[in-house]
Amino acid sequence: MKTMIMTLFLLILTGNLSAQITGEPITLETETGKIEGTLLCPPASKKIPVVLLIAGSGPTDRNGNNPMMINNSLKMLAEGLFEKGIAAVRYDKRGIAESKGAGLQESDLRFESYVEDAEEWVDWMKKDNRFSEIHILGHSEGSLIGMIAAQKGDVKKFISVAGVGSPAGEILREQLKAQPPMVLQMALPYIEKMERGETDENVPQMLYTLFRPSVQPYIISWFKYDPQKEIAKLNKPVLIIQGTTDIQVTVADAEKLANANKQAKMHIIEGMNHILKEAEIDRQKNLQTYTIPDLPLKEGLIETVAEFIGQ
């Protein structure tokens, strides 16, 4: 009987906790439509810190998922911080998932569009009297977006997780080296043009998906930002987190960021991959974790973030 009662109690407790972590739907009104998000705010008798979670590139939603890969990394991160007494705001980027209505025409989209959205979320959080201080955590490409948005004085601390340490043009050159030499040779003039801020309507079919004219203005706006220069502008506490089994971003990237901002702290997590899960360095086995939604975050990540915010 005692065992049955204890089991029932644990089920009720777990159910209540799950209900608490469902989150509060929140909306950011923009000129082009609504950007939808979720706020997880622990019950508290006093004001608590809040962190804005910014997702990475592509069609990544507020939970860290895209249509092909469901891993729930950012959802788990928000829930883990909730349990540590820290509120978290996460959102679908404009044009993605429930924020699809706020999407711009491809030719009108700029990297700054994402930065401005993050800044607007910071302004939104400032108006909520439940929060004592505002922090930004950017994952992958969200790291660069976040470090630019964090230059505003309203943000107390910035956290980069799996953020690249080089400009996008340099990264693209490295990625294209894995292609046949002819592809890199054809692509280099277009990369160099866009680094100079120039467009080119005459794109060969082989490169059209990458450099189609409608996406060139966005690429130009993205290429001009150097993560090392942007993080150096931050005169506030900075934490750089990187996993050793990340097959997309390396420890060398974290070191570049840390070297660019002498006040920054760097924390390397052994065995953590790009989606913040425990994984082997073997590429195939690593990628298998990208589609396991209930695989927990790598141990130590939530504690590291929470400790930094609490300092």
Reply yes or no on whether the pLDDT at 15 is more than 60. no
What average pLDDT does range 80-86 have in this prediction?
98
Are both 145 and 41 inside the same structural domain?
Answer: yes
Q: Is the pLDDT of residue 97 over 90?
A: yes
- Full residue range of the structural domain in which residue 40 is found: 17-166+228-310
60 and 96 belong to one structural domain: yes
What's the confidence (pLDDT) of residue 21?
Answer: 76
Q: Is residue 1, in this structure, part of any structural domain at all?
A: no
Segment 300-305 shows an average pLDDT of 99
CA 77 to CA 277: how far, in whole Å? 11
Of 156, 191, 224, the position where a domain reaches its end is 224
Q: pLDDT-derived band of residue 6, with 50, 70 and 90 as boundaries? A: very low
For residues 306 and 162, state if they share a domain: yes
282 CB contacts (<8 Å, ≥6 apart)?
none
Is it the case that residue 182 has pLDDT exceeding 70? yes
**Beta-bridge partner residues of 241:** 161, 267
Same domain, 201 and 125: no
Confirm whether 7 is domain-assigned: no
Q: How far is CA 209 from the centre of its chain?
A: 24
Total number of domains in the chain:
2
Residue 120 lies in a domain: yes
pLDDT at residue number 232:
99
30 and 122 in a single domain? The answer is yes
Domain boundary among 224, 242, 266: 224
Q: For position 162, what pLDDT does the model report?
A: 99
Average pLDDT of the residues in 65-90: 97
Assess whether 49 and 70 both reside in one domain: yes
Comparing C-alpha atoms, which of 96, 87, 145, 110 is closest to residue 305?
Answer: 87
Global confidence as pTM: 0.92
Q: Are residues 254 and 148 in the same domain?
A: yes
Average pLDDT over residues 276-280: 98
Structure tokens at 246: 């990340």
- The pLDDT confidence band at residue 215, using thresholds 50, 70 and 90, is very high
pLDDT 10s digits, 113-171: 999 999 999 999 999 999 999 999 999 999 999 999 999 889 999 999 999 999 999 99
Least confident range of 16-30, 139-153, 290-304: 16-30
Whether 34 shows a pLDDT value over 50: the answer reads: yes
pLDDT mean over 25-40: 97
* 289, pLDDT greater than 90: yes
Q: What is the CATH number of the domain that holds 273?
A: 3.40.50.1820
Assess whether 113 and 24 both reside in one domain: yes
pLDDT value of position 36 = 98
Average pLDDT over residues 12-36: 76
**80 shares its domain with 194:** no
Alpha carbons 303 and 132: distance in angstroms, whole number: 20
Query: Has residue 13 got a pLDDT over 50?
Result: no
Q: Average pLDDT, whole number, for the chain?
A: 93
3 falls within a domain: no
User: Does the pLDDT value for residue 11 go beyond 80?
Assistant: no
Q: Is 28 in contact with 98 (CB distance < 8 Å)?
A: no
251 lies in the same domain as 189? no
